[in-house]
Amino acid sequence: MNEIQSLIKAIDFAAGKHRDQRRKDVDATPYINHPIELASLLMEHAGTSDLSVIIAAILHDTLEDTETTADEIEAHFGAEIRAIVMEVTDDKSLHWQQRRQRQIDGAAFSSYQARLVKLADKICNLRDMSDRPPATWSLQRRREYYEWAAQVVNELRGTHAGLEALFDEVYSRKP
């Protein structure tokens, strides 16, 4: 299978897994737009051509937000992509505050590939928070999200100057 086929397979897989999910904005944007945005950002702004990173970005929320298993990721996309996706996946059995703290604590110890995906995810989430905020979130909750995202990104500093500058630009639009 060539790289384009692998990428399309990942998009199709993620689209199927997220087919009934929507973002929390007032327009209920289809969820699949989010992982596609991450992959696009990594290719365009980070110059990433590492197919494993791009596919992991497409799949980054499948374990966390769908019934997908790590074994299923590996069967379809290999052990390397499974490992990256596992690194960026929160343990949903933990309270949200514990999950957030784990992201801060573990960010600096992530692989380079996972760090890129995490940076892209935080950038895209803050863009959404600015342009299409969750309909039910208060201004205070949105500001708290910005602060938490900045804590995670501060632990990722030194990974990719361009992505970090883009994060800082998006962060500067904090509500």
Q: Show which residues are catalytic.
A: 64-65
What burial letters (b/e) apply to 50-80, b meaning 16+ CB within 10 Å?
bbbbbbbbbbbbbbebbebeeebbbebbeeb
17: three-class secondary structure by DSSP:
helix
Per-state percent for the chain, helix, strand, coil, to nearest 5: 65, 0, 30
Give the Cα separation of 34 and 28 in Å (integer): 12
Q: Which helix (H) or strand (E) holds 151?
A: helix 139-156
